[in-house]
Amino acid sequence: MPQTRSAARPEVREDGKQRIAKLLARAGIASRREVERMIAEGRVALEGKALETPATLLDDLKGVTVDGKPVNPPAAARLYRFYKPAGVLTAANDPKGRPTIYDRLPPGLPRLMPVGRLDFNTEGLLLMTNDGGLKRQLELPSSGIRRIYRARAFGDVTQDQLEQLAEGVTIEGVRYGSIDANLERRTGRNCWIELTLTEGKNREVRRVLEYLGMQVSRLIRTAYGPFSVEDLAPGRIAEVGREDLFRFRQTLK
């Protein structure tokens, strides 16, 4: 039987050394995948020499620079709730010049990374953190964290059809897991539907509702785990209390 990813590449070796991509992600520089790209571009150096591989093992970040600047030791993990407006990209920058979440964040925040993504036209709760390890933990499907969405859609659908989504559905070869969907209210052929899921595949809610013949005109993520967007206005951000964050991390798988 082939080794699993975690067995083949342990997070921490017996000698305590860790891969530089993990260390830099933990320090809030970027996600592991982005760090690997930065290393390939020659932007990460150790004692002045550009690193050639993300498999480099280190005890800590002493002597490491990114774009010529020393990397500070990892700070305590922090988590923020951000109401992402519609028409904003979940990315650091966009070659097409579209606005990004970083254009909407206020000054004075630590360097933050989004937990997962929301589509350009999707609004609502986007968690953000300074800790790459926490980001990855919150994104893993195995963590089983529920995401709640409210969708305004046009078309005809019944509660019975929505309840069938609890069994999962395959659309164009892609398998979507169980979704708890409820018809909240209807005005003519427009309706609001609440959907709770744990996978969060790319454009999952839109694709599933389109599969049922619905046209989504507005999509809002209202909750991610125990964290809600209800008291935030679009474009506003608020930090999760450290005690609340600690208790939440204790519940993660």
Q: Which of 15, 94, 103, 119 is catalytic?
A: 119
Query: Which residue is it, tokens 């997070």?
Result: 11
Instruction: Report which of 134, 137, 19 is spatially closest to residue 78, judged by C-alpha positions.
Output: 134
User: Any bridge partners for residue 175, and if so which?
Assistant: 170
For 13, list phi and psi in degrees, rounded to 5.
-75, 165
Beta strands in the chain, from DSSP E residues, in sequence order: 18-19, 44-46, 49-50, 57-58, 64-66, 69-70, 79-84, 113-114, 123-129, 147-154, 169-171, 174-176, 180-187, 190-197, 215-224, 227-228, 237-239
Q: Report CA-CA distances (Å) from 189 to 151, 164, 165, 192.
A: 14, 20, 20, 10
Active site residue 59: no
Report the catalytic residues: 119
